[in-house]
Amino acid sequence: MPKSILHADMDAFYASVEQRDHPDLRGKPVIVGGSPESRGVVSAASYEARRFGVHSAMPAAHAKRLCPHAVFLPVRMQRYQEVSARIRSIFESFTPLVEPLSLDEAFLDVTGSIRLFGPAAEIGRQIKEMVRQQTDLTVSIGIGPNMFLAKLASGYQKPDGFLEIREEEKLAFLEPLDVTRLWGVGEATAQVLHESGVRTIGHLRNVPLSVLRSKLGKTADFLLELAHGEDAREVVPDAEAKSLGSESTYPEDVSDIESLETTALEHAEQVAFRVRSARLQARTVTLKLKFADFSLSTRSRTLADATDRTDVIAGTALALLRRHDAARSRPVRLVGVSVSQLSAASERQASLFGREEEERRRSLDRAVDEIRSKMGEDSIKRGRLL
């Protein structure tokens, strides 16, 4: 059964809350963030201010030049959190599967709510109405069979937008859109694609995977999936239960354990890099295998102490793979590594023994991270250390 995912995005959230709390500001350009006299940046701009070209993350002084008569207000984070909690409880009255991305944005998996509340579009309209009634704010809603399409839909007619992209119309919908609308296509990737004459998502679909891979490397597979309106990510409700993962599907099923190990190592490396980049550490490592018959297997191991070290995460993933009998006997289609039980990496339990070795591993991780951050994620790969 196809899923029904809903993406709810509050319109100019901080600025709208201010306009609601100060009715005299309605209809006026409002900019929330640093004062134009300081070196602060814009946190949010009302639609009235956006018309002058003001957008978030812009230096406040620059915004002042673009829109001199705008009202500048300080950020009242606590207030926005209060309103956000109110809105979130509206979402949660329809489904427990709510994944907030920030104070003003969330994904809802309403697949299981349809029997109770009616079709996804009906749920979307009810949410819009309840948000308006209870908070006097507007929310843009996008609905789709997956997270990518839902988010695309919510951003399509902002503000106060409402759009559903159905499974059967997704290909036609994506066809004319610019490739930059695909998740993960930034300036650099867009330039590569434009140079090959690929401007729309429709164009992209017609490029053979091998050609795309030669230009973009491993992201090619992922982009092509998105171009076909496919996105396997799932809505993860609890922020605590969040995990970080990396996985890939082989072009052809793989049976030899060494190739599987190499792939698992690459994913472990990727995951460890992301754990460190987010200044987190993880306690549980999970290995995911999908076999040729599409059956799925996951194995986890929880460590004594949370870690952000590549060698520990990779070593655990490898141990799980080596102990997995089926991995030796059945062809594998997909390999993934993920970590969970994440916590802030603010402190670390040091070891009594082998501290030099540990320090050596950490400085190696730091060096690799630096190169990856500067040159891109595919810039460096480790030899088989394990």
Partner 1 sequence: MKFITKPVLLANAFQLVGGVIPANSPRPALNNIRLETKGGGVELIGTDTEVALRSLIRDVRVEQEGVVSIPPSNLALIMRETRDEEVVFQAEGNVCEIRSPRSRYRIQGDDPHNFPFVPFIESGKSMEFQVGDFLESIRRTIFATAKEKARFALNGVLLEMSGQDFQMVATDGKRLSMVSKTLEQKVEGKIFAIVPRKAMELFERIAAGREQEKLLLDVQEALIQFRVSDVTLSAKLVEGNFPNYREVIPKEYPIRLELPAAPFHSDLQKAAYMASDTSRVVYIGFKKGMLTFKSSNEGVAEAELEMPVEYDNKELVLGFNPEYLADILKVLASGTFRMEFAEVNRPVLVRADEGYLNLIMPITPTA
Would you tell me which residues interact with partner 1 (CB under 8 A)? 283, 302-306, 319, 341, 343-353
Q: How far is the CB of 313 from partner 1 (least distance, A)?
A: 15
Locate tokens 């940046």: which residue? 41
Q: How far is the CB of 343 from partner 1 (least distance, A)?
A: 4
C-alpha to C-alpha distance for 32 and 43, rounded to whole angstroms: 6
Cβ contacts of residue 296 below 8 Å, gap of 6+?
Answer: 288, 289, 290
Of 133 and 346, nearer to partner 1 (C-beta) is 346
C-alpha to C-alpha distance for 46 and 55, rounded to whole angstroms: 9
Which of the following is catalytic: 18, 48, 99, 105? Answer: 105
Of 85 and 116, nearer to partner 1 (C-beta) is 85
Provide the 3-class DSSP secondary structure of residue 268.
Answer: helix
Of 120 and 306, nearer to partner 1 (C-beta) is 306
225 assigned to active site: no
- How many Cβ atoms sit within 10 Å of the Cβ of residue 91? 23
- Give the helix ranges, DSSP H, for 51-175: 60-66, 77-92, 114-117, 120-135, 147-154, 170-174
C-alpha to C-alpha distance for 152 and 154, rounded to whole angstroms: 6
Q: How far is the CB of 305 from partner 1 (least distance, A)?
A: 8
Q: How far is the CB of 349 from partner 1 (least distance, A)?
A: 5
Of 30 and 306, nearer to partner 1 (C-beta) is 306
Provide the 3-class DSSP secondary structure of residue 139.
Answer: strand
Of 126 and 300, nearer to partner 1 (C-beta) is 300
> Which residue from 27, 35, 26, 17 is spatially nearest to 72, judged by alpha carbons?
35
Q: How far is the CB of 344 from partner 1 (least distance, A)?
A: 8
Q: Which sequence positions are flagged as catalytic?
A: 105
